[in-house]
Structure 1
Amino acid sequence: MVRQETDVTLRRCTECRGYAYGGGPACAVCRDLVDGLVEGAWAVFLRQWDTVAGGDQERALAEMVAAEPDRHDWRIVDAAFDRLVCPDCGGRLARGPVGCPACDLAHGFRYAAIETDRPGVPPGNEHAIRVNVSVVRRPQVTSESEVLVRRLLLPLLLAGFLPTTEAAQRMSALMKKSPPGRRAQLVEQAVEGLAEEFSRTRRAARAAASSPTSPDTPAATRHRSARGRPR
């Protein structure tokens, strides 16, 4: 699957008022948006296979994908697991409780799936999205603190952001030293700071790219002052 250009912009959720996609799983609107990342890819996949949703053919297709996760995009693999029933816990495969043997096994296999970065994003952005989506959609197997950070960072990742090693270390240190009662507030403030910095950097990059004197502008199209014209 070829990833498209980044088309998710930072915007506020109408329900939780945080950044859209970042309020799940508690916020129903954000939770549906995150599920939509997977479901949208599956809908395209069904059309490619000329298969109707909800029938035996869809289940057979899901079983095929689950048996060969390394041949499919991670969103397709996650969607396929959603359509299969876990033989141990009876829930959706790979999304069961901690300690469910079949779900834990499938959860590990999901990371064999293909991850393709979109054009214009830092290398590794799609992997970060993939991990954060997995955590948000199966929060019961992850610590509350990690779910908090990953859900709040997800909107930035979808917009094309990828934290540096230093930024990730600062976030980790903040998590460890923050009092439990103020942890969510402090992490939200830190993520807001990252979002503002990311937005400024992106605006500056776009302005530089559109400048007639930008290094990326072909020499033939650069505007030069004529002799005697005020600069």
Structure 2
Amino acid sequence: MTGVGSRWRSAALAAAVDRLAAEVDQAWRALLREYGVAEGSEDEAELARLVVADPAGHDWRVVDAALARSACDECGAPSTQGPPTCQLCAFHHGQRFGARETDRPAAPPGNEHASRVAWAVVQAPGRYGSRARAGFELSLPDLLAGHLPSTAQAQAARAQLNRLTPGQCDRVTSFAEVERLAAAAVSPPHPVASAPGGRGHPAG
């Protein structure tokens, strides 16, 4: 997740995160308008709690916006973003995948699902291992561009990530770099851990 002089491992990932963050905020503001709720009000905080309690009733962008605006009652961090030991954050992180998702026009079926899982990993990186983080973060820019790897491509990328050390996974900035490092590796250290709901994806 870390990059030189940046929170993100690459400029492409930073741009993808900015784009999705804007979409999440836009979806939340639309919900506020629908219910006539003022931004920054107590009613907004209550609406966020209601959305978090019923993820299946809302689009995943709305749910993720509500989570970011809700403090965890157990650890005090934004919900799902607390330490891995926080059971309540872990619970809400799992619940977020019950939110609705609708495939985007012109994007292949499954692209929207992969995009929302990758975004969840970006939002709660401490809940994933370094290989899973690398796979999802490196994929996010291409997913937002409307692409979706085939099963064979996803399996090949996963196999290459398995050959990298955790430190290498934290530093890689592209799948081309993953391929180069994997070719130079002697043996695969450990397998990639899957993210919840991450089917058909290099780290899923």
TM-score where L is the length of structure 2: 0.75
For 1:77, what is the secondary structure of its paired residue?
A: helix
Is 2:144 aligned against 1:171? no
Matched-pair contact (CA < 8 Å) for 1:152–1:191: no
Is 2:179 aligned against 1:189? no
**Equivalent runs, 1:100-115 vs 2, <5 Å:** 100-115=86-101
Matched residues in 1 for 2:46 and 2:173: separation? 46
Q: In percent, how many aligned pairs have the same letter? A: 40
Matched residues in 2 for 1:185 and 1:82: separation? 27
In the alignment, which residue of structure 2 is the partner of 1:142? 128
1:17 Cα deviation from its structure 2 partner: 9.6
1:168 Cα deviation from its structure 2 partner: 0.4
In the alignment, which residue of structure 1 is the partner of 2:71? 85
Matched-pair contact (CA < 8 Å) for 1:62–1:80: yes
Matched-pair contact (CA < 8 Å) for 1:178–1:186: no
Counterpart amino acid of 1:43?
A: R
- Give a deviation string over 1:97-148, Cα, whole Å, max 9, x none: 1020111111111111001001111111111001000001111111112111
Matched residues in 2 for 1:176 and 1:33: separation? 29
1:179 Cα deviation from its structure 2 partner: 5.4
Matched-pair contact (CA < 8 Å) for 2:134–2:172: no
Counterpart amino acid of 1:164?
A: S
1:85 Cα deviation from its structure 2 partner: 1.2
Matched-pair contact (CA < 8 Å) for 1:19–1:155: no
Is 2:25 aligned against 1:39? yes
**Equivalent runs, 1:145-156 vs 2, <5 Å:** 145-156=131-142
**Equivalent runs, 1:1-231 vs 2, <5 Å:** 18=10, 20=12, 22-23=13-14, 31-178=17-164, 184-185=171-172, 187-189=174-176
Q: Which runs of 5+ in 1 are unaligned?
A: 1-14, 24-28, 193-231
Matched-pair contact (CA < 8 Å) for 1:121–1:160: yes
1:37 Cα deviation from its structure 2 partner: 3.0
Matched-pair contact (CA < 8 Å) for 2:23–2:61: yes
Counterpart amino acid of 2:131?
A: S
1:71 Cα deviation from its structure 2 partner: 0.7
Matched-pair contact (CA < 8 Å) for 1:93–1:103: yes
Matched residues in 2 for 1:86 and 1:182: separation? 32
RMSD: 2.5
Q: Which runs of 5+ in 2 are unaligned?
A: 1-5, 180-204
Q: Which has the higher contact order (CA 8 A, sep 6+)?
A: 2
Counterpart amino acid of 1:177?
A: R
Matched residues in 1 for 2:67 and 2:9: separation? 31
For 2:67, what is the secondary structure of its paired residue?
A: helix
- Greater Rg by CA: 1
Count of aligned positions: 172
1:159 Cα deviation from its structure 2 partner: 1.0
1:41 Cα deviation from its structure 2 partner: 1.4
For 1:98, what is the secondary structure of its paired residue?
A: coil
Matched-pair contact (CA < 8 Å) for 1:129–1:154: yes
